[in-house]
Structure 1
């Protein structure tokens, strides 16, 4: 029996563009995060839908994705991460009636690895009537040495942090639809969605308890994305550290 604030359908959306190297790590981590959710007997566990959006893939990404148990594959030729995330959600939630207050959408990336408590924590927040969960990310070993230290110097990886990342975002489906869904843009689709949700005055949590490990590469699969963010941040960090000025934009993310 599903009580007030419970979630009976969990939709996990993962856009992927030629990620045959890192997708196995992503799926192993997602599988580990699903286990404690489906093992719950009281209340009844939600139905879990994992959607992988194959965005113009020309490598072995589709073969790897198809091997994940119960996966939904959605093909996209748009070449934009915003459109890919949106298509992933629509691959399972096909009509407005599917976007209920008992459905939760969790977003991550194919080059990322979520922690084991990623989904359980989001659902716990949802049970307390939270509509939006914003988590943190940290680069993997691809970003090393001085660049990692410089990146870490700017981050506020604490509760109430100012960051917005599509690789670590959860939202209740009815609020997501009311906000207009992920916009079909090439970059900052996560920031645009969060800005729209905040205009609706949704209840949000910004937490550092569910950090997602993502690729620290400086050349990514999208024009901007986290790779572009890393390039920009590491390039301007000396100025920030000298002036001590750190700016946050209106969407609550670092510029």
Structure 2
């Protein structure tokens, strides 16, 4: 079943340094989806969560809708973004609607959305995409380790909110994104699996995310990158 409507959600908390690149990439992906899937409706929504920097000014320079909240909680930001995007789309039938999420510190490839839509048409209920840190943020040793431990064509099936898609029907059955400080993406996929959803993992259309060591949540992707860096540094130290 091919979706006729797509909700795209980007939670943002003080991402002024990276948000312009994020929304440039997302805008290109949305335009490509509209070209390749004529008639599809796409509603990209940026959720500004307790932002105190220039994130709102940057977001307003791109063709996205904006929702402001003060939750300081990424799970709430994703949930509110889904609600806003579905309302903007006119609350289409859940079976006809796809929900895609990424993050304000990430850049998606131009075929990101079309690939998810093609997988949905082939029967996927949930798409787990891979992410990689921006190699410009890493040492050469860390970059080499990353490439060696992430062979192409063998995605581990990890859950990343920066590269996640699911049908609105499955999202509804799973109870939506929970109001959590972190791992809301993992929890909604866990609930989707429990509901019988068909989950597909892919490393095509990998999303590039920040390689920073200090993220917006204590146990998020930045913590993983930092831990890996510490391990690698120990291996290469004299």
Same fold at TM > 0.5 = yes
SS of the residue 1:136 aligns to: strand
In 2, Cα distance between equivalents of 1:98 and 1:77: 28
1:150 to 128, 145, 148: 145
- Verify: 1:139 aligned to 2:152, yes or no: no
Q: What does the per-residue CA deviation read over 1:205-251, in whole Å, with 9 as the maximum and x for residues that have no partner?
A: 100111001000001122222101212334456999xxxxxxxxxxx
Show the counterpart of 1:10: 6
Q: Does the aligned pair in 2 maintain the 1:217–1:227 contact within 8 Å?
A: yes
- Structure 1 residues 157 and 229, CA, compared in 2 at 3 Å: closer, same or farther? farther
1:232 aligns with 2:232: no
Please say which of residues 86-95 and 169-178 is displaced more in the overlay.
86-95
CA positional deviation for 1:147: 2.6
CA contact (8 A) 1:139 1:215 kept: yes
1:135-155 alpha-carbon deviations (Å, 9 max, x no partner) = 111111112222333344443
Deviation at 1:92, TM superposition (A): 2.3
Structure in which a larger fraction of residues adopt strand: 2
Indicate the larger mover: 138-147 or 228-237.
Answer: 228-237
Tell whether the 8 Å contact from 1:107 to 1:170 is kept in structure 2 after alignment: yes
- TM-score w.r.t. length of structure 1: 0.84
Q: Do residues 47 (structure 1) and 41 (structure 2) align?
A: yes
The answer for the alignment partner of 2:22 in structure 1 is 26
Looking at structure 2, the residues matched to 152 and 220 of structure 1 have their Cα atoms a distance apart, in angstroms, of 22
Find the residue that maps to 1:30 and give its secondary structure. Answer: helix
Q: Larger helix proportion, structure 1 or 2?
A: 2
Runs of 5+ unmatched residues, structure 1: 241-255
C-alpha contact 1:26 1:112 (8 A) present in aligned 2: yes
Residue 215 (structure 2) pairs with residue 215 (structure 1): no
Q: Secondary structure at the match of 1:191?
A: helix
Structure 1 position 157, deviation (Å): 4.6
Distance 1:127 1:66, change over 3 A: same
> What TM-score comes out, normalization by structure 2 length?
0.90
Mind listing any 5+ residue stretches in structure 2 that lack a counterpart? Answer: none
Per-residue Cα deviation, 1:72-107 (whole angstroms, up to 9, x for no partner):
111121111111111110112259x64611110110
Q: Which residue of the partner structure matches residue 177 of structure 1?
A: 172
Contact residue 160 and residue 205 of structure 1 kept, 8 A: no
SS in 1 for 2:161: coil
Q: Secondary structure at the match of 2:162?
A: coil
Conservation of the 8 A alpha-carbon contact between 2:137 and 2:211: yes
Tell me the SS of whatever aligns to 1:39: helix
In 1, Cα distance between the equivalents of 2:22 and 2:94?
Answer: 27
Q: State the number of aligned residues.
A: 233
Rounded Cα–Cα distance in structure 1 between residues aligned with 2:231 and 2:119: 35
Q: Note the aligned Cα RMSD (angstroms).
A: 2.3
Give the structure 2 partner of residue 66 of structure 1: 60
Please tell me whether the aligned partners of residues 9 and 85 of structure 2 are also in contact (alpha carbons under 8 angstroms). Answer: no
